[in-house]
Chains A and B, each alone.
Chain A
Amino acid sequence: MQEKKPHIVVRDLTMAYGDFVLQRDLTFTINHGDIFIIMGGSGCGKSTLLKHLIGLKRPAKGEVLYGDVNFWTAPPEQQEAIIKGIGVLYQSGALWSSMTLAENIALPLEQYTELSSMQIRELVSLKLALVGLKGFEEYYPSEISGGMKKRAGLARAMALDPEILFFDEPSAGLDPISARLLDDLILQLRDSLGATIVIVTHELPSIFAIGNNSVFIDADRKTMIASGDPKVLLKESQDPTVVNFLTRMEAGRRGHVDADKDNRRGTP
């Protein structure tokens, strides 16, 4: 692979809801062409971190840079340009419920391109076909299943062929085969369109199959405790939290459970 160029740089980021600090001192870099995984236990702030990366939430401290532009101090035109270059799949799908799937996907195209409605319709069919939803153009989001909503949200996120795609738990609610196909699709997006991809996920198989960079954030210590290629982390990490996560606690299972029990006896 060619030399790595930073796409998003996070420096010293602190995230908080009001006074409630979620994470502090997050510093990591997402390079062009990375498939970057955000890992961590439930409720540790992964979705919140994503919101910081896509410019929906202002950092309590620290900065998020796109290339070398600081998002929050950039002039509005530049912010808009950055935002146009990203596609997001939300954890809940977040399809616009008053529009059909076709209209959902067509909206970004209508807003930002000069394509004719005929061309847009064909693009919409293509995107839906890519996520296995061909023929569902005229369905409303309330008429399809949860997993289908995820896939439709994915199609919408890809509508403008963005340079960087953010996925919040894309495979949650998908059957193993669809999840596998999704992994393939993500790799294709990276390889054929050259997109950078940031994924929040818990799926170990996908993490190891497609991820080439990652950050691990922890709720108890309120900061990141590991970063780098997940396969390398699995082999080399010394941190029990990270190892337990990556091995589903199967590596050191005995040792840990016993230690817990002893602790409990010792301190009533």
Chain B
Amino acid sequence: MNPSAVTAPTGSGGGGRLSFSRSSQDTLQIAFTGGWKITESLPSLSDVQRELESGSPVRSISFDTTGLTAWDSAYLTFLLQIIEESTQKQIQVSQDGLPEGVRRLLDLATAVPERKGAAKQEKHTPFMERLGTTSVRLWNSNLEVFEFLGETTVAFLKLLVGRARFRPRDLWVTIQECGLEALPIVSLISALVGLIFAFVGAIQLKMFGAQIYVASLVGIAMTRIMGAVMTGIIMAGRTGASFAAQIGTMQANEEIDALKTLGISPMEFLVLPRMLSLMLMMPLLGLYSDFMGILGGMLIGVTVLDLNPMDYYNKTIEAVTLTHIWVGLFHSAVFGVIVSLAGCLRGMQCERSAAAVGNATTSAVVTSIVSIVVATSIITVVCQILDI
């Protein structure tokens, strides 16, 4: 009866405005004036809700748009909200007062009912249920890992009897990618690690005048563990990630399905050459890394500690026994398997989207690094027990 006008707080002259009047006891008329556009500041739905709740109960709503100068999707969403609100409250909405175009678009928007079960809701689930589903999921992902391991083994067995199907060219390309092309970064990191070891060791050993033992320290540390661990981590970030991304993208593009429908096993065609090449290259890179690390140590020994290069060389040869080298090689071989498995596994598990490829890559690197550290600990303890 007494029309109350609601204006958007900051609304300038062009902004949309809203006013209410009761044309009869239970009919609310909403009048829209001004420009209802996305770029303008507009009143919010709560104004309408407040009006609906105040005063006598409303049975029907009608619209007056004589003062409406412009509208776009912002106006439509506002109307849809009003319609939804009133459907819930069982209020009739008469669209007669709306401009022709608005009415037609509203018809379109409400023509196809929401597909049942299509909208995904966040349901609030009780703690125990979440615990249950999480455990089931974890268990299932374990099963997937074992399944993958099994399939890999089968693929390798087929390789042994010469029945595995892959293109030799792919093998060479991956060998090049994860061997030759990794040399620069492996050189840099390993030399720096050797250098750092030498520095840190030197500070302590100097106190006893035993600088020359820097050579044994660096030599043993690099050959036994650090060379392998550093290459492992470098390759996890470099090659493991790229395996996951390559295979994941192929999964997302249905390229893997295309292989399967040709009867070509993706395990043989994609996973096998990648695993083979990394397993071959990793030990070699590990050895190379040992060498670079020792070189880095020597650089510090000779320049900072004033050691004789010949002495340093002899001390290194004396300290680094074949056993250390074998242990290091064993580490590398294990890491090669871990990194390539993790990369290929995460790639094969990838779902069909760009985000999933990103997740697969991250997950491959995380899995590799965690497994590398765990494996190193286990090997170290076992070596301790066996007294190697």
Tell me the A residues contacting B by CB distance below 8 Å: 20, 51, 54-56, 80, 83-84, 86-88, 90-92, 94-98, 107-108, 110-112, 156, 219, 260-261, 264, 268
In residues 223-268 of chain B, which contact A (Cβ within 8 Å)? 246, 249-250, 253-255, 257-264
The closest CB in chain A to the CB of B86 belongs to A268
With contacts A84-B263, A108-B262, A111-B264 taken as known, whether A95 is within 8 angstroms of B92 at the C-beta atoms is: no
Q: Which of B246, B259, B261 has the most CB of A within 10 A?
A: B261
Contacts of A108 in B (CB 8 A): 262, 264
Pick from B87, B90, B111, B255: contact of A97, CB below 8 A: B255
The 7 closest A-B pairs by CB, nearest first: A94-B254, A94-B258, A83-B263, A88-B261, A90-B254, A268-B92, A84-B263
Number of interface residues of B (CB under 8 A): 27
Counting CB contacts under 8 A, is B115 at the interface?
Answer: yes
Pick from A54, A56, A111: contact of B165, CB below 8 A: A111
The answer to whether A96 touches B258 (Cβ under 8 A) is: yes
The answer to whether A264 touches B117 (Cβ under 8 A) is: no
Pick from A54, A87, A260: contact of B111, CB below 8 A: A260
Query: Distance in Å from the Cβ of B195 to the closest Cβ of chain A?
Result: 39
* 26 A-B pairs (CB sep. < 8 Å): A20-B117, A51-B257, A56-B261, A80-B263, A83-B261, A86-B261, A88-B257, A88-B258, A90-B254, A90-B257, A90-B258, A92-B253, A95-B258, A96-B255, A96-B259, A98-B246, A107-B262, A108-B262, A111-B165, A111-B262, A111-B264, A219-B115, A264-B107, A268-B86, A268-B90, A268-B91
- Chain A-chain B contacts (Cβ-Cβ < 8 Å), number: 64
The answer to whether A268 touches B261 (Cβ under 8 A) is: no
Counting CB contacts under 8 A, is B93 at the interface?
Answer: yes
Query: Distance in Å from the Cβ of B353 to the closest Cβ of chain A?
Result: 13
Contacts of A97 in B (CB 8 A): 249-250, 253, 255
The answer to whether B258 touches A54 (Cβ under 8 A) is: no
Q: Which of A56, A86, A110, A260 has the most CB of B within 10 A?
A: A56
Counting CB contacts under 8 A, is B110 at the interface?
Answer: yes
Inter-chain pairs besides A84-B263, A92-B254, 19 sampled, C-beta below 8 Å: A51-B257, A55-B261, A56-B261, A83-B261, A84-B262, A87-B261, A88-B258, A94-B258, A95-B255, A95-B258, A96-B250, A96-B258, A97-B249, A97-B250, A97-B253, A107-B262, A110-B167, A156-B258, A261-B107
The closest CB in chain A to the CB of B115 belongs to A219
Give CA–CA (A213, B96) in the complex, Å.
47
Give CA–CA (A97, B254) in the complex, Å.
11
The closest CB in chain A to the CB of B117 belongs to A20
Query: Distance in Å from the Cβ of B330 to the closest Cβ of chain A?
Result: 33
Give CA–CA (A97, B246) in the complex, Å.
10
Contacts of B115 in A (CB 8 A): 219
Contacts of B86 in A (CB 8 A): 268
Give CA–CA (A199, B112) in the complex, Å.
27
Query: Distance in Å from the Cβ of A117 to the closest Cβ of chain B?
Result: 12
Give CA–CA (A262, B337) in the complex, Å.
68
With contacts A92-B253, A92-B254 taken as known, whether A268 is within 8 angstroms of B263 at the C-beta atoms is: no
The closest CB in chain A to the CB of B263 belongs to A83
The answer to whether A94 touches B257 (Cβ under 8 A) is: yes
Give CA–CA (A261, B106) in the complex, Å.
12
Query: Distance in Å from the Cβ of A74 to the closest Cβ of chain B?
Result: 13
Query: Distance in Å from the Cβ of B45 to the closest Cβ of chain A?
Result: 19
Give CA–CA (A264, B113) in the complex, Å.
12
Give CA–CA (A97, B270) in the complex, Å.
13
In residues 46-91 of chain B, which contact A (Cβ within 8 Å)? 86-87, 90-91
Query: Distance in Å from the Cβ of A48 to the closest Cβ of chain B?
Result: 12
Query: Distance in Å from the Cβ of A241 to the closest Cβ of chain B?
Result: 13
Contacts of B90 in A (CB 8 A): 268
Give CA–CA (A83, B264) in the complex, Å.
10
Give CA–CA (A95, B253) in the complex, Å.
8
Q: Which of B250, B254, B260 has the most CB of A within 10 A?
A: B254
The closest CB in chain A to the CB of B262 belongs to A108
The answer to whether A94 touches B110 (Cβ under 8 A) is: no
Contacts of A156 in B (CB 8 A): 258
The answer to whether B255 touches A56 (Cβ under 8 A) is: no
Contacts of A86 in B (CB 8 A): 261
Give CA–CA (A51, B257) in the complex, Å.
9
Give CA–CA (A53, B254) in the complex, Å.
16
Contacts of B263 in A (CB 8 A): 80, 83-84, 111-112
Contacts of A111 in B (CB 8 A): 165, 262-264
Q: Which of A80, A88, A156 has the most CB of B within 10 A?
A: A88
Give CA–CA (A140, B64) in the complex, Å.
60
The closest CB in chain A to the CB of B257 belongs to A56
Contacts of B249 in A (CB 8 A): 97
Q: Which of B86, B90, B253 has the most CB of A within 10 A?
A: B253
Give CA–CA (A261, B167) in the complex, Å.
62
Query: Distance in Å from the Cβ of A252 to the closest Cβ of chain B?
Result: 16
Query: Distance in Å from the Cβ of B56 to the closest Cβ of chain A?
Result: 19
Query: Distance in Å from the Cβ of A57 to the closest Cβ of chain B?
Result: 10
Contacts of B250 in A (CB 8 A): 96-97
